Amino acid sequence: VGKDGTRVFDLRMQAGEKEFEDGRRTPTWGFNGDYLGPTLRAKRGEKVAVRIANGLGEASTVHWHGMHLPAAMDGGPHQMVEPGGTWTPRWTIDQPASTLWYHPHPHGATEKHVQRGLAGMFLLDDEKSAALDLPDEYGVNDMPVIVQDVRFDGAKFDHGHGLMQNTGFLGDRTMVNGTLDPYMEVGDELVRLRLLNASTARVYDFGFSDGRAFALIGTDGGLLEAPARMDRLQLSPGERAEIVVRMKPGERTVLRSFPQDNYGDAWQRRFGGGDDSFDVLELRAKQSLRDSPELPSQLGELEVPDGTDSAKERFFGLEMSGINGRPMDMGRIDEVVTRGTAETWTVRNDDGMPHNFHVHDVQFRVLEVDGERPPPELRGAKDTVFVPGGTTVKLAMRFDGPADPDTPYMYHCHLLYHEDGGMMGQFVVV
Ligand code: C2O
Ligand code: CU
Ligand code: CU
């Protein structure tokens, strides 16, 4: 923490080499290390500054996914950091406690930079959530779970796309926090998992091997109003969820990803990964567990608008070739939004291929999925939502940051091969 109270972080993008437990080694990129990056953490109201140094041989950026902040600090494709260069974005944390993340966003090369290992979590805290009786000891009963799929070619990562894979890169095994075949020792009756789908294209449908239910307590942008009990939870690339799992002494269970029924047609399920299943993370409870208090029945208050005061409606048609029929153009502003207003955005996927939709700077409320009330995992604050082929979602969001007519924010498909290929647009707040 600096003299004026600013919390300062240092992140250096660097090339390295990752060594696995079984001795194989692969070239990787990481922040301050060989693979992934440190978990950053700050409180609501706090001023933060991140000193970024680019130690790579090529230009990149660092984007704060889910963060409400001025467009010039966003780390999108207009804030490139040259090799050997530095960049120090500063902003004030002004949103609820949540599980956010950071990753590069260079136009046309985001998939490559993320899958080489550039990603990390950015956790936000606030007073209201700190006062709740939730598991909150980081690394003890409150665990980051960064899920990525990988494939090996001998000892090395193979980043190539399969012939039929128009969704982008799909791996044939998963890692958690950069570890293959991971397990986690649990020492408390209740363990909180902060799930982040940091894969570049793969959608997961999480559940447990023994079918046990868990409590969903938070989505992308923070805590739900109340815990929701469920046994399956779908997360597309970029989405997060906080779940709480109850364990008995000595017990083991496996967090698994199951085949998904809403993924698309038979072709997409087969070649786009919708039929795949993975053992993601084994939980091993100790022989004696610390008691955990019951989960509170009320958690947070949603700060996302409910659509009733929307000043404008917009429509976004998703196609692999571009959004609303236009591929991304760095020099074109697609939408102009008025500062301080709420809007309703309708997003439709008619493409027959799975896509999702992410909006920078804001958290939104999913008002409807195909005209129906959304399922519990889409009832909290969201910044990314899965939009399977043939689906329409309606989103309500408020733009209350500072105006900047010259610097755009992005909206895009977070399947990074699609984003790189032009499924992205730009908006400014004026
Ligand atoms: Cu997670 Cu525009 O990105
Ligand atoms: Cu983002
Ligand atoms: Cu897409």
Whether residue 278 lies inside any domain: the answer is yes
Q: Mean pLDDT throughout 201-227?
A: 98
Check if 105 has its Cβ closer than 6 Å to any atom of ligand 1: yes
Q: Compute, in angstroms, the gap from residue 77 CA to the centroid of ligand 3.
A: 18
pLDDT at 333: 98
Check if 360 has its Cβ closer than 6 Å to any atom of ligand 1: yes
The ligand 1 atom nearest the CA atom of 384: 1
Nearest of 328, 353, 425 to residue 108 by alpha carbon? 328
Q: Mean pLDDT throughout 261-282?
A: 89
Q: Compute, in angstroms, the gap from residue 201 CA to the centroid of ligand 3.
A: 8
320 & 286 share domain: no
pLDDT at 205: 97
Determine which residue's CA is closest to atom 1 belonging to ligand 1. 65
The ligand 1 atom nearest the CA atom of 410: 2
Q: Compute, in angstroms, the gap from residue 188 CA to the centroid of ligand 1.
A: 34
Whether residue 2 lies inside any domain: the answer is no
Q: How far is CA 284 from CA 177, 254, 287, 289, in A?
A: 17, 9, 9, 11
- Among residues 103, 128, 153, the one where a domain terminates is 128
Q: Mean pLDDT throughout 201-207?
A: 97
pLDDT at 352: 82
104 neighbors 115 (Cβ within 8 angstroms) = no
152 & 280 share domain: yes
Q: What is the pLDDT of residues 243-254, one digit of tens each?
A: 999 999 999 999
Instruction: Report the number of secondary-structure helices (H) and strands (E) in the chain.
Output: 4, 33
250 & 158 share domain: yes
153 & 273 share domain: yes
203 neighbors 239 (Cβ within 8 angstroms) = no
We report the CATH number of the domain holding residue 271 as 2.60.40.420
Check if 77 has its Cβ closer than 6 Å to any atom of ligand 1: no
Domain limits at 246?
A: 142-290
Q: Compute, in angstroms, the gap from residue 288 CA to the centroid of ligand 2.
A: 41
* Total tally of structural domains belonging to the chain: 3
Determine which residue's CA is closest to atom 3 belonging to ligand 1. 65
Q: Using pLDDT thresholds of 50, 70 and 90, give the confidence band for residue 262.
A: confident
Whether residue 296 lies inside any domain: the answer is no
47 & 173 share domain: no
Dihedral in degrees, nearest 10, Cα atoms 350, 425, 377, 44 = -170
> Maximum Cα–Cα distance for the chain, whole Å?
60
The C-alpha angle with vertex 236 and arms to 268 and 221, in degrees rounded to 5, equals 160
For residue 164, pLDDT over 80 is answered with no
Q: Using pLDDT thresholds of 50, 70 and 90, give the confidence band for residue 44.
A: very high
156 & 108 share domain: no
pLDDT at 175: 98
Whether residue 303 lies inside any domain: the answer is no
Whether residue 298 lies inside any domain: the answer is no
Q: What is the pLDDT of residues 332-351, one digit of tens each?
A: 999 999 999 999 999 999 98
182 & 280 share domain: yes
21 & 99 share domain: yes
- Among residues 95, 128, 161, the one where a domain terminates is 128
- Among residues 96, 128, 160, the one where a domain terminates is 128
Check if 227 has its Cβ closer than 6 Å to any atom of ligand 1: no
Q: What is the pLDDT of residues 151-162, one digit of tens each?
A: 999 999 999 988
Closest ligand to C-alpha of residue 322 is: 3
DSSP per residue, 238-291: T-EEEEEEE--TT-EEEEEE---SSS-SHHHHHHSSTT--EEEEEEEEEEEEE-
Alpha helices by DSSP H, 124-220: 127-130
213 & 315 share domain: no
244 & 116 share domain: no
For residue 272, pLDDT over 90 is answered with no
Q: Is 402 exposed, middle or buried (0-12, 13-18, 19+ CB in 10 A)?
A: exposed
Q: Compute, in angstroms, the gap from residue 210 CA to the centroid of ligand 1.
A: 34
The Cα 100–Cα 360 span in angstroms is: 12
For residue 181, pLDDT over 90 is answered with yes
34 neighbors 26 (Cβ within 8 angstroms) = no
Q: Mean pLDDT throughout 298-314?
A: 97
The Cα 402–Cα 340 span in angstroms is: 9
Whether residue 218 lies inside any domain: the answer is yes
349 & 408 share domain: yes
267 & 351 share domain: no
pLDDT at 162: 80
Q: Mean pLDDT throughout 196-209?
A: 97
317 neighbors 357 (Cβ within 8 angstroms) = no
Q: What is the mean pLDDT of the chain?
A: 96
